[in-house]
Chains A and B, each alone.
Chain A
Amino acid sequence: MVAGSQVGHQSDTPGSNISDVDAEGEIEVMSQRQLIWRRFKRHRLAMVATVIVVLFYVVVVFADFLATNDPEDSEADRQYTPPQWLRLFDGIKPDLHVCRLVGTRDQFFRKVYERDCEQKVDIRVFGRGYEYSLFGLKLDRHLFGVDHPELTAEDTVFILGTDVQGRDMYSRLMRGTRLSLLIGLIGIFISLMMGTVLGAVSGFYGGFVDNVIQRGIEIIRSIPTVPLYLGLAAAFPADWSVERRFFAITIVVSLFAWTELARVVRGRYLAMRQEDFVTAAITAGASQRRIIFRHMLPSFYSHIIAASTLNLAFMVISETTLSFLGLGLLPPAISYGTLLFTAQNLQTVALAPWLLIPGLFVVVLVLSLNFMGDGIRDAADPYGS
């Protein structure tokens, strides 16, 4: 009952031929990889999803370059400023700018802001901003931002508004994307290791070993994950450092995610054990390790990628949920979950709906990963329609 359930996605693309005979009568040969890629390209939704996922990973690497303000930079005087949309034109003249925000206090002493488009805040592409390091280099250039000699306090650019402490939501979202996806990536790595090794061993040896591993998987899958995750996460002391907590949560999130992968790998191995090329390898005297990892594993990389993609979506949701409840990552760590943590109070959300934007990112990412995973799986299945 979790996201990324494994029910197939119907595809209506006609089957592709293994080899096409072209005009000159020569036989065109395609490798397994080319075939999968060709089938995958027909899945338009999966292609779009893949582009979106790639964009998310661009953010992971270039989070600080894309950010406009220092994500930690707080200023009580500008709490809950509404988003200042980027405007590309002034009339018909191209001119990248945002409207200045003029703040006054209402009768409840709350700060209210008004957009004054007469006063423009100019946005400079590749302008200078706060310093950050990227690939070990100290940089201060950002994709865009305010950058001119006489900056006043009103010259702000908060394209997605600010939070309770006046911190820039957009820049925090970029950092949050980095951390949330990093948890997913490391988690995938851990569960890939466990899943492929146990699945491969289970499928290759069969018999007693298989039985023990399969029963173990069944038991783990029958345990409801939500209370268990919460229980484990709550057991971590609150005074742990950000890094330590990060790794602990990553392990919790990946602890139960490998079972699906192990199941997929095992199924493939069982099907493949009877194949001629495996028999040939055994006859040729190859070691079992070599047969598993050199001969069999490459033939279902794509299945592993598909299962990992779906798993990644599950892990992002798990982290977000845990941190949202205050049991996962804790501030000052910035992740989707800790960002949404500030949106728990309905009155606050009503006042500053832009606090829900991290949720939109989660939804887009999770859906894209699901579509991409389904697309890869359909493309990788040689007997698919």
Chain B
Amino acid sequence: MLSFIIRRTIYAIIAMWAVSVISFVIINLPAGDFVTTYIATQAATGNVILADEAENLRDVYGLNDPIYVQYVKWITRIVRGELGFSFEFNAPVRQVIEQNLANTLLLALGSVVFIWIVGIPIGIYSAVKQYSPGDYVATFLGFLGLGIPDFLIALVVAYLVFDHFGILLTGLYSAEYLTAPWSFGKALDLAQHLVLPVIILGTAGTASLIRIMRANLLDELKKPYVTTARAKGVTEWQLIMKYPVRYALNPVLSLTAYILPFLISGSVVLSYVLDLPTVGRDFLRALTAQDIYLSGAIILGTGWLTIIGTFFSDLLLAWVDPRIRLEGD
């Protein structure tokens, strides 16, 4: 187990390094450095930055250093928690991210809960009643959920709701609660607004959970111990719930640690369509405005989050399933 943990830790560190390099490259890809961008935005508001002032700024931010020095400086600042300044939002990057972080996590966690409470029972049903009409319906819906991009579902649902009920399904709060202090009413309002985004964000995850659960359980149900237990007269319900389901749930547990970062990055497009105040929406705004510090920090953040999530899900899986930790030894 120890060698497994060490190996995985090394991989995770290498992956985090790779992601940081990629993020840095993306930040530096657009033509001109951010001082040029800054001068342009200042010029738009009528402030003129002189050439030697610009040169001074470049010195302060180390933009005249060789690229690897810039990388080292950048990554050290990131690790220390200094994420830079967002020109688009005119605020420190950290503040911009923190502002909508709670909404983002709420949306992602809500989707995880949704995926669980919908995916697991349907997966069990599909496996136990294999080839029944219900199984076919679930399989087909699973295909739909995996095949249709989230933003299309969001667009169609939002259109239908708007067309039939005249309600604009955008944002997370109604106008009257937008700036109001927290109260029961505001929480209820938020919950109402969260329902559809959570379902839409959860479709792909639910679909894959159904397929995984079904496949795992089908494998398990064929095993001799199930036949033995059945021969001994255990009731079908007890039998299925007690052993095969418990075993089939193992990979599902680890899936959760792994799925959360994907939901966060998946919420980017959804937030754009439904105008949800999440980090994802700010990310898109940063991208279109070439606000590199903000977009870079978000790319790096989701990347690291995914790697850490995968790391823990691997450990979790190895902990519950000894076959995995022996693999490769």
Point out residues on A near B: beta carbons under 8 Å: 1-5, 7-10, 12, 215, 218-219, 222-228, 230-232, 234-235, 237, 313, 317, 320-321, 324-327, 340, 343-344, 346, 349-350, 353, 356, 359, 362-363, 366-367, 370-371
Query: What chain A residues lie within 8 Å of B204 (beta carbons)?
Result: 1-3
Q: Is B272 in contact with A219, judged by CB distance below 8 angstroms? A: no
Q: Is A234 in contact with B303, judged by CB distance below 8 angstroms? A: no
**Cα distance, A371 to B147, chains bound together (Å):** 10
Q: Is B29 in the interface zone, CB < 8 Å from A?
A: yes
Q: Is B266 in the interface zone, CB < 8 Å from A?
A: yes
Q: How many Å from the CB of B263 to the closest CB on chain A?
A: 8
**Cα distance, A12 to B132, chains bound together (Å):** 13
**Cα distance, A320 to B18, chains bound together (Å):** 27
B142-167 near A? 1/0 per residue, CB < 8 Å: 01101111011001101100110000
22 pairs, A vs B, C-beta closer than 8 Å: A1-B205, A1-B208, A5-B208, A7-B208, A219-B14, A227-B302, A227-B303, A228-B22, A228-B303, A230-B283, A234-B290, A324-B151, A324-B269, A326-B288, A340-B155, A346-B168, A350-B159, A350-B162, A350-B163, A359-B155, A366-B149, A367-B148
Q: How many Å from the CB of B169 to the closest CB on chain A?
A: 8
Set A3, A226, A350, A362: member contacting B269, Cβ < 8 A: A226
Q: Is B212 in the interface zone, CB < 8 Å from A?
A: yes
Q: Is B303 in contact with A346, judged by CB distance below 8 angstroms? A: no
Q: Is A231 in contact with B295, judged by CB distance below 8 angstroms? A: yes
Set A218, A230, A344: member contacting B284, Cβ < 8 A: A230
**Cα distance, A224 to B147, chains bound together (Å):** 18
Q: How many Å from the CB of B277 to the closest CB on chain A?
A: 17
Q: Is B307 in the interface zone, CB < 8 Å from A?
A: yes
Query: What chain A residues lie within 8 Å of B306 (beta carbons)?
Result: 222-224
Q: Is B272 in contact with A1, judged by CB distance below 8 angstroms? A: no
User: Number of contacting residues on B, CB 8 A?
Assistant: 61
Set A215, A235, A320, A349: member contacting B29, Cβ < 8 A: A235
Query: What chain B residues lie within 8 Å of A321 (beta carbons)?
Result: 149, 151, 269
The residue in chain B whose Cβ has the minimal distance to the Cβ of A235 is B29
**Cα distance, A326 to B288, chains bound together (Å):** 8
Q: Is B215 in the interface zone, CB < 8 Å from A?
A: yes
**Residue in A1, A9, A324, A343 whose Cβ sees the most chain B Cβ within 10 Å:** A1
Q: Is B266 in contact with A226, judged by CB distance below 8 angstroms? A: yes
**Cα distance, A10 to B204, chains bound together (Å):** 19
Query: What chain A residues lie within 8 Å of B298 (beta carbons)?
Result: 227
Q: Is B278 in the interface zone, CB < 8 Å from A?
A: no
Q: How many Å from the CB of B308 to the closest CB on chain A?
A: 10
Q: Is B30 in the interface zone, CB < 8 Å from A?
A: yes
Q: A223-B18, A224-B306 are in contact. List 18 more A-B contacts (CB 8 A).
A: A1-B266, A3-B147, A5-B208, A222-B310, A223-B307, A224-B261, A224-B303, A226-B268, A228-B26, A230-B283, A231-B287, A231-B295, A234-B287, A235-B29, A324-B151, A344-B155, A362-B149, A370-B147
Q: Is B288 in contact with A327, judged by CB distance below 8 angstroms? A: yes
**Cα distance, A4 to B158, chains bound together (Å):** 25
**Cα distance, A88 to B320, chains bound together (Å):** 64
**Cα distance, A231 to B298, chains bound together (Å):** 10
Q: Given that A230-B283, A231-B26 are contacting pairs, would A366 and B148 also be in contact in the complex, using a CB cutoff of 8 Å?
A: yes
Query: What chain A residues lie within 8 Å of B23 (beta carbons)?
Result: 231
Query: What chain A residues lie within 8 Å of B259 (beta carbons)?
Result: 1
**Cα distance, A320 to B150, chains bound together (Å):** 11
**Residue in A237, A346, A350, A363 whose Cβ sees the most chain B Cβ within 10 Å:** A346
Q: How many Å from the CB of B163 to the closest CB on chain A?
A: 5
Q: Given that A230-B287, A237-B31 are contacting pairs, would A3 and B149 also be in contact in the complex, using a CB cutoff of 8 Å?
A: yes
Q: Given that A5-B146, A344-B273, A350-B163 are contacting pairs, would A235 and B26 also be in contact in the complex, using a CB cutoff of 8 Å?
A: yes
Query: What chain A residues lie within 8 Å of B22 (beta carbons)?
Result: 223, 228
Q: Is A346 in contact with B269, judged by CB distance below 8 angstroms? A: no
Q: How many Å from the CB of A361 to the closest CB on chain B?
A: 11
Q: How many Å from the CB of B120 to the closest CB on chain A?
A: 15
* CB contact list, B1-56 vs A, under 8 A: 11, 14-15, 18-19, 22-23, 26, 29-31
Set B29, B31, B159, B262: member contacting A232, Cβ < 8 A: B29
Query: What chain B residues lie within 8 Å of A5 (beta carbons)?
Result: 146, 208, 211
Query: What chain B residues lie within 8 Å of A228 (beta carbons)?
Result: 22, 26, 299, 303
Q: Is A349 in contact with B147, judged by CB distance below 8 angstroms? A: no
Q: How many Å from the CB of B208 to the closest CB on chain A?
A: 5
Query: What chain A residues lie within 8 Å of B296 (beta carbons)?
Result: 231
**Cα distance, A233 to B302, chains bound together (Å):** 17
Q: Is A218 in contact with B155, judged by CB distance below 8 angstroms? A: no
B170-182 near A? 1/0 per residue, CB < 8 Å: 1000000000000
Q: Is B70 in the interface zone, CB < 8 Å from A?
A: no
Q: Is A371 in contact with B143, judged by CB distance below 8 angstroms? A: yes
Q: How many Å from the CB of B8 to the closest CB on chain A?
A: 10
Q: Is B131 in the interface zone, CB < 8 Å from A?
A: yes
- What 10 pairs across the A-B complex have the smallest Cβ distances? A235-B29, A234-B287, A224-B265, A7-B211, A231-B26, A219-B15, A226-B265, A1-B262, A366-B147, A367-B147
**Residue in B11, B18, B147 whose Cβ sees the most chain A Cβ within 10 Å:** B147
